[in-house]
Structure 1
Amino acid sequence: MLLLLAFVLFVAAIAATGAAFAKEPPSGLARALEALERSGQAGHELAEQADQPFADRILAPFQARALALGRRLTGADKADRIRRRLDFAGNPRGWTIDRVLSMKVLCAVVLPVVVVAYGLLLGGSFTVLLVVAVAAALLGFVGPDLYLYNKAAHRADQMRRTLADAVDLLTISVEAGLGFDAAVQQVARNTTGPIAEEFSRVLREMQLGMSRSEALKAMGARSNVEDLNTFVGSMVQADAFGIPIAQVLRVQSSEIRVKRRQYAEEKAQQVPVKIMVPLIFFILPCLFVVVMGPAVLNALDAFNGK
């Protein structure tokens, strides 16, 4: 046993000595070769980084940091609200929840810098620049929300104006003997605008296995147009109770046309009220200057004895 233990210790000592000699620092030539190899790898990495586009090298990391900051600043339910606004706006191409959050932070940072730089060129005071910078930061932070709100309002107005024609085409197609799916396909093919996009999406969802009621409810949830939600509710009830779809479509078409006429009359009655603001602040002052200006100048000349 003692001889075996001594032999094991001897072998371990030889292995440790070999490892120590193997880990000795390299000679001068070896160190130079390793340095050249490392410099070549570093140059290759720098070349690969330089070949990347500017958006991937600079903008992408900055946008990632802005996204992280935006998630911290917004509440936990902000993502659901942004998703709902994107649905109301028609899900613009390239716009996602992460992009909206990052754009809010980027606009809140970039817009004050631009405004302050322009104010410095004009020679503004520190107090004015501070107030303008704060206002620009707030405006930049809510800017993407305002864009989505404007986009949603414009889309809702288009849907109100084209919904009656789409329902008429749907009614004619069903009364001609087509099924509801084929009638929806005719509407999506022969109309344009947000209504055509929504009916096309309903058709794709039904083809993917979603039931008709679920697809129509999803279309109503993606829009804030009251007439469309009423139409969706009627179609879902008709599907649930087995009511003939052609009769429901005929009634809905008549009601939607009446509501569209009432909506147009309401907008026409709002015109005199809305035109008062530009009339008072922009048109009447110019008119007073043109009409009263010569009389005021003549009166001043008369008082001065000229």
Structure 2
Amino acid sequence: MVLLFVLGVILIGAAIALLGMALRPAEEAGGINRSIAVLKAMTEAPQELRGELERPFAERVLEPLRARALRLGRRLTGADSAERIRAKLNLAGNPPGWSVDRVTSGKVLFAGVGLVAGFLFSLMVSETTTTRLLVALGGLVAGFFGPNLYLYQLGYSRGQKLQRELPDAIDLMTICVESGLGFDAAVQQVARNTQGPLSEEFGRMLREMQLGMDRSEALRSLGERTNVADVRSFVSAMVQADTFGIPVAQVLRIQSSEIRVKRRQRAEEKAQQVPVKITVPLIFCILPCLFIAVMGPAVINIMNNFS
């Protein structure tokens, strides 16, 4: 009965409050009029004020945050960090939207995110302060060096693609040169008719030559933008051929033969590594299952006999 009485009092109070709100149309109309006046003032405000209010969230919040992170990142990293990051970006193929400043600021932002994530994860896995501190510091370090590791992985994957595409590209250039085209025209055919990072590098080399760079300098720049030994060997051979006047077709034919021999040797090396690499899954995954299937029934019979 007491509960029903309290509930009735609450309902009566709510009804009285709703009735009071309904009996104040002038104040409600005044609030609506004030809102309309504010909207009208915003729409009729000068363009400078409206532009400040209409700026997107990224420009108002994210850009200042990234600028502060960039200043802090420049203080934390060394003086030659910009050159090292630029070299990693060249090895990775200069991904769209990536720059030295963005990587530097991203390291600081990811460090903050890693610190918070590591602290929250430490609250779930441990109750000691030392462990929580170590996990949080691990998240901080992982977030700070995360962009560098990502760029390294991009550069490594791109280098593998360059190494696979180089023999076919040299064969195509050899055919073009032997059919009467010049070296520049043969490179243009490769850049036009193929796809991949090697085609992009050849296209960039041609654009640099069109801007006035010498062919030898463009070739050396191509070699500096990659860490693949075969590409650098090809660049070195072509620079020497251009310097000493050696026939390009002969050099391309020799380079094609050598690179294909190297590719065959790498394939044989990978094949020789298979028995060693398969030892670990053989011992820990295949042999236990085989022992269970072979020795399991015998063990069960022995246990039944002794029981």
Name the TM tier (shorter chain): 0.7 to 0.9
Counterpart code for 1:115: G
- Structure 1 gaps of 5+ residues are 1-38
Question: What's the counterpart of residue 177 of structure 1?
Answer: 180
Counterpart code for 2:285: I
Question: What's the counterpart of residue 206 of structure 2?
Answer: 203
CA distance in 2, matches of 1:279, 1:50: 65
CA distance in 2, matches of 1:286, 1:98: 53
Matched, 1:143 2:143: no
Q: Secondary structure at the match of 1:141?
A: helix
Matched, 1:241 2:244: yes
CA distance in 1, matches of 2:90, 2:212: 21
Counterpart code for 1:65: R
Counterpart code for 2:208: E
CA distance in 2, matches of 1:71, 1:258: 46
State which drifts further: 110-119 or 202-211: 110-119
CA distance in 1, matches of 2:207, 2:50: 46
Post-superposition shift, 1:59? 1.2
Cα distance change, pair 161–134 in 1 and its aligned pair in 2 (3 A): same
Cα distance change, pair 119–298 in 1 and its aligned pair in 2 (3 A): farther
Post-superposition shift, 1:240? 0.5
CA contact (8 A) 2:220 2:235 kept: yes
- TM-score under structure 1 length normalisation: 0.77
Percent identical among aligned pairs is 57
Matched, 1:117 2:120: yes
Post-superposition shift, 1:88? 0.8
Counterpart code for 2:256: S
Size of the aligned set, in residue pairs, is: 265
Question: What's the counterpart of residue 283 of structure 1?
Answer: 285
CA distance in 1, matches of 2:249, 2:154: 33
Post-superposition shift, 1:239? 0.5
Counterpart code for 1:192: Q
Post-superposition shift, 1:150? 0.6
CA distance in 2, matches of 1:239, 1:170: 15
State which drifts further: 192-201 or 44-53: 44-53
Deviations 1:8-67 (A, max 9, x none): xxxxxxxxxxxxxxxxxxxxxxxxxxxxxxx99xx8777544421121111111111111
Cα distance change, pair 276–113 in 1 and its aligned pair in 2 (3 A): farther
Matched, 1:64 2:67: yes
Post-superposition shift, 1:135? 0.8
CA distance in 2, matches of 1:189, 1:62: 42
Matched, 1:192 2:227: no
Question: What's the counterpart of residue 81 of structure 2?
Answer: 78
- Structure 2 gaps of 5+ residues are 1-40
- TM-score under structure 2 length normalisation: 0.76
Cα distance change, pair 70–293 in 1 and its aligned pair in 2 (3 A): farther
Q: Which runs of 4+ in 1 moved over 4 A?
A: 43-47, 121-124, 275-280, 288-295
State which drifts further: 256-265 or 146-155: 256-265
CA distance in 1, matches of 2:49, 2:125: 42
* Structure 2 counterpart of 1:97, from 78, 97, 100: 100
Post-superposition shift, 1:265? 2.0
Alignment RMSD (CA, Å): 3.1
Question: What's the counterpart of residue 54 of structure 1?
Answer: 57
